[in-house]
Amino acid sequence: MSKATSILYLDGVSVSFDGFKAINNLSLTLDPGEMRAIIGPNGAGKTTMMDIITGKTRPDEGEVYFNGTIDLTRHDEAEIAMFGIGRKFQKPTVFESQTVEDNLLLSLKGERRGFPALFYRKSKEDAAAIDEILGTIRLEARRKDLAANLSHGQKQWLEIGMLLAQDPKVLLVDEPVAGMTDAETEETARLLKEIAKTHSVIVVEHDMHFVRELGVKVTCLHEGSVLAEGTLDHVSADKRVIEVYLGR
Amino acid sequence: MILARFFAGGFRSPLVVAGMVIILALAVLVPVLNLAVPRGSAFHMPDYLVPLIGKYLCYALLALALDLVWGFCGILSLGHAAFFALGGYAMGMYLMRQIGSRGVYGNPDLPDFMVFLNWKELPWYWYGFDSFAFAMLMVVLVPGILALVFGWFAFRSRVTGVYLSIITQAMTFALMLAFFRNEMGFGGNNGLTDFKDIVGFDIAAQSTRVGLFIISAAALIIGLVITSAVINSKYGKILAAVRDAESRTRFLGYRPENIKLIAFVLSAVIAGIAGALYVPQVGIINPGEFEPANSIEVVVWTAVGGRATLVGPIAGAFLVNAGKSWFTGVLPEYWLFALGGLFIFVTLFMPKGIMGLLGLVRRRKSTPVDEMSPDARADIAPNAAEQQQ
């Protein structure tokens, strides 16, 4: 695992807010094509880590590299999104006043400037891409409905669909199954495994049942740094992990 | 081809098309009733009503411009009257130059107020305003460039919400103070007035007034087509996305500051054109037009008509101003209280304005709730609740 061959490389990253160290000497490497689950108690720095990768928060120190060559600390949100890092938020954030279809259209990879969008006309390729994603996230029947009228689980899927539409190289997915029913959780696991076949993915999740379902390497964060890393069985056998997280 | 498709988007909403038809009818009816119907007839429209309704048309265009940024992009500008006034001043400067030596002092080179202030020569920024084409260019460029510079700094610094509203208000207030100063060279307190003619036509002649009326109606229709085409394009969808979840659009790779800037500049240009059409119809432009209260009134018209509906603000501008004309005749000192009360009432009880009421009526008529599936009923219920709040 070296910087050159990684898709995402964090080394010695620290950031503090008003003296509170949200991230403390955090190092993490994601290989191309890998799916990684991140677990950890509240306040472990999971969301802050995503903020740093996507350019929302600048680290005080440390290296953050994408594809081994791009220094992410030197770019802003829009640029990082264009490099190919997509993000799904903890709380589903879809464009509520627009249709499911339009949400995907807005996310579709490509032109991001305003003027060309004035004269944009949906191409056959774009329409096909939208149809395909609607199939993957199983929302074909709701395509003309406003996103506001979707159920909580459907909004989560729509947001995952928006990520797919961006066609990023890395997907950061924050708590995708929070508030979902068991059936929805299973469906989401299926969806993420499908996506992981062609993308690198980081999933932050509290639901251990769901993490087990994913069956991937797990990193446990605590107080802003890595506590344990390995298979779920290995991590959940770790005494310190049990103490700070699982034991509660 | 691309442009034709773009403009076709402007006719996609039946409500907007209905609005265009009504304005078109007004553009035909008013001149006919005023000029063709004999004076004694009950159907004759009195002369004074033509520039009055023409003035409302300009206000409606201003409200439409505000709706583009407030309704569709969430930028509550409390300084839109500044763009209107700047467009008005550009037109006023052209009209001043047309006076020539017919001023009180008969000076062929300088407007009256400059003679009065003992100025010896025309300031450089008055150059070019003898030409109608140059003045029209300035009507568009001055508000457009101000909006570009102002918006570039404000949106790039991620100033949003109430803070942005406050600095737009400060902008119009600063401009008002500047234009009040005699040294600025725009006529100070008195502004620009005593206009004689416009592109060779006598500005006081009834035929000229009718002509200006028709041009204002045409400008309003064109403004409606353009704004409607803009919001029906993919750009319009991005604009609404920025309004609803600005930070989310950043993570999709958009630059909300640039997206907002396009709408803000377009809106300022439309407001400038509205101001330029307004000045020859009322015969004067002075710094009072920059008053913060004027910009707030535009917000009230838009809110009364219905935000984010395009036709709503036009209806709102007509109704509130007609109400103002009537009210200031009957109980002049209470008008501002009535306006404030109206704004509070609309905000509390009619968040979607007049258009929201229309929508409610239409929906009730077309789909009785009993016949709907439980799903559809659940979809409508939250909206209805929102409207009753």
Q: Pick from B7, B251, B260 the residue to mutate for testing the A interface (most A CBs within 10 Å).
A: B251
Q: Are residues B294 and B374 in the same domain?
A: no
A217 phi-psi bin (left φ>0, alpha ψ -120 to 50, beta other): beta
A149 in contact with B, Cβ within 8 Å: yes
Q: Compute CA distances B277 → B214, B215, B235, B270, whole Å.
A: 11, 8, 28, 11
- Statement: residue A203 has pLDDT above 80: yes
Question: Long-range contacts of range B318-322, CB-CB < 8 Å, 24 or more positions apart?
Answer: B318/B56, B318/B59, B318/B60, B319/B354, B321/B55, B321/B56, B321/B59, B322/B56
Contact A81 B240 (CB under 8 A): no
β-strand A200-204 against A170-174: which pairing, if any?
parallel
A90 — pLDDT class (breaks 50, 70, 90): confident
Which residues of A are less than 8 Å from B255 in CB distance? 78, 112
Which residues of B are less than 8 Å from A56 in CB distance? 247
**Mean pLDDT confidence for B344-348:** 92
pLDDT at B367: 42
**Mean pLDDT confidence for B74-83:** 97
Which residues of B are less than 8 Å from A115 in CB distance? 235, 262
Residues 178-237 of A with CB under 8 A from B: none
- Statement: residue A138 has pLDDT above 60: yes
Q: Are residues B197 and B287 in the same domain?
A: yes
Question: Long-range contacts of range B239-244, CB-CB < 8 Å, 24 or more positions apart?
Answer: B239/B72, B239/B73, B239/B263, B240/A95, B240/A97, B240/A98, B240/B72, B240/B73, B241/A95, B241/A98, B241/A106, B242/B73, B242/B74, B243/B72, B243/B73, B243/B74, B244/A95, B244/A96, B244/A97, B244/A98, B244/B74
pLDDT tens-digit map of A15-33 = 999 888 899 999 999 999 9
| DSSP codes of every residue in chain A | --TTT-SEEEEEEEEEETTEEEEEEEEEEE-TT-EEEEE--TTSSHHHHHHHHTTSS--SEEEEEETTTEEGGGS-HHHHHHHTEEEE-SS----TTSBHHHHHHHHSSS---HHHHHT----HHHHHHHHHHHHHTT-GGGTTSBGGGS-HHHHHHHHHHHHHHH--SEEEEE-TTTT--HHHHHHHHHHHHHHHTTSEEEEE---HHHHHHHT-EEEEEETTEEEEEE-HHHHHH-HHHIIIIIT-
- Statement: residue B345 has pLDDT above 70: yes
Q: Are residues B291 and B367 in the same domain?
A: no
- Statement: residue B80 has pLDDT above 90: yes
- Which residue, among A45, B155, A83, has the nearest Cα to A73 in the 3D structure? A83
pLDDT at B336: 87
Rounded to a whole number of angstroms, the distance from the CA of A74 to the nearest CA of chain B is 16
CA gyration radius, chain A: 18
Token pair listed for B111: 């407007």
**Mean pLDDT confidence for B201-224:** 97
Q: What's the mean pLDDT when you consider all of chain A?
A: 92
- Which residue, among A205, A214, A213, A212, has the nearest Cα to A236 in the 3D structure? A212
Rounded to a whole number of angstroms, the distance from the CA of B134 to the nearest CA of chain A is 26
- For CA atoms A186, A191, A195, A201, the dihedral sign is negative
pLDDT tens-digit map of A5-19 = 999 999 999 999 988
Q: Are residues B19 and B146 in the same domain?
A: yes
Q: Are residues B338 and B373 in the same domain?
A: no
pLDDT at B2: 82
CA-nearest residue of chain B to A78? B253
**Domain around B377:** 350-389
Between B2, B238, B250, which is nearest A117 by CB?
A: B238
Q: Are residues B132 and B37 in the same domain?
A: yes
B259 in contact with A, Cβ within 8 Å: yes
pLDDT at A157: 93
Residues facing A200 on adjacent strands: A170
The C-alpha atoms of residue A28 and residue A72 are separated, in whole angstroms, by 14
B358 — pLDDT class (breaks 50, 70, 90): confident
**Mean pLDDT confidence for B42-64:** 96
DSSP label at B389? -
Between A56, A120, A149, which is nearest B234 by CB?
A: A120
* SS3 assignment, position B198: strand
pLDDT at A37: 95
A127 in contact with B, Cβ within 8 Å: no
- Statement: residue B368 has pLDDT above 60: no
Between B233, B251, B259, which is nearest A77 by CB?
A: B251
Place of tokens 């609740």: B385
Contact A118 B235 (CB under 8 A): yes
pLDDT at B388: 36
Contact B233 A118 (CB under 8 A): yes
B158 in contact with A, Cβ within 8 Å: no
**Mean pLDDT confidence for A39-67:** 92
Q: Are residues B340 and B359 in the same domain?
A: no
Q: Determine phi and psi for A173, rounding to 5 degrees.
A: -120, 115
B379 in contact with A, Cβ within 8 Å: yes
The residue type of B342 is: L
Q: Are residues B283 and B359 in the same domain?
A: no
CA-nearest residue of chain B to A54? B251
- Statement: residue B369 has pLDDT above 50: no
Between A56, A82, A114, which is nearest B258 by CB?
A: A114
B269 in contact with A, Cβ within 8 Å: no
A144 in contact with B, Cβ within 8 Å: no
- Statement: residue B134 has pLDDT above 90: yes
Token pair listed for B257: 């500051």
- Statement: residue A143 has pLDDT above 80: yes
A179 — pLDDT class (breaks 50, 70, 90): confident
**Mean pLDDT confidence for A27-40:** 93
A149 — pLDDT class (breaks 50, 70, 90): very high
Q: Are residues B330 and B380 in the same domain?
A: no
Percentage, residues of chain B above pLDDT 70: 93
Q: Are residues B220 and B369 in the same domain?
A: no
pLDDT at B73: 95
pLDDT at B387: 37
Contact B244 A97 (CB under 8 A): yes
Class of residue A220 by CB neighbours under 10 A (exposed 0-12, middle 13-18, buried 19+): buried
A86 in contact with B, Cβ within 8 Å: yes
pLDDT at B364: 56
CB atoms within 10 A of CB B43: 9
Percentage, residues of chain A above pLDDT 70: 99
The residue type of B153 is: F
Q: Determine phi and psi for A116, rounding to 5 degrees.
A: -60, -30
Q: Are residues B388 and B299 in the same domain?
A: no
Q: Compute CA distances B243 → A92, A101, B323, whole Å.
A: 17, 18, 32
Q: Are residues B249 and B359 in the same domain?
A: no
- For the question of an ipTM over 0.90, the answer is no
B364 in contact with A, Cβ within 8 Å: no
B5 — pLDDT class (breaks 50, 70, 90): confident
Polymer length in residues for chain A = 248
- Statement: residue B163 has pLDDT above 80: yes
* SS3 assignment, position B193: strand
The C-alpha atoms of residue A139 and residue B93 are separated, in whole angstroms, by 59
Q: Pick from A47, A80, A120, A169 the residue to mutate for testing the B interface (most B CBs within 10 Å).
A: A120
**Mean pLDDT confidence for A219-224:** 93
- Statement: residue A248 has pLDDT above 70: no
The C-alpha atoms of residue A166 and residue A80 are separated, in whole angstroms, by 12
CA-nearest residue of chain B to A51? B251
Count of domains in chain B? 2
pLDDT at A43: 85
Which residues of A are less than 8 Å from B252 in CB distance? 81, 106-107, 112, 162, 166
Q: Are the C-beta atoms of residues B240 and B256 closer than 8 Å to each other?
A: no
Polymer length in residues for chain B = 389
pLDDT tens-digit map of B255-287 = 999 999 999 999 999 999 999 999 999 999 999
Query: Lowest mean pLDDT: which of A61-75, A104-118, B265-279, B353-367?
Result: B353-367
- Which residue, among A93, A99, A101, A49, has the nearest Cα to A224 in the 3D structure? A49
pLDDT at B363: 58
Which residues of A are less than 8 Å from B237 in CB distance? 98, 102, 105-106
Between B233, B248, B379, which is nearest A117 by CB?
A: B233
**Mean pLDDT confidence for A143-160:** 93
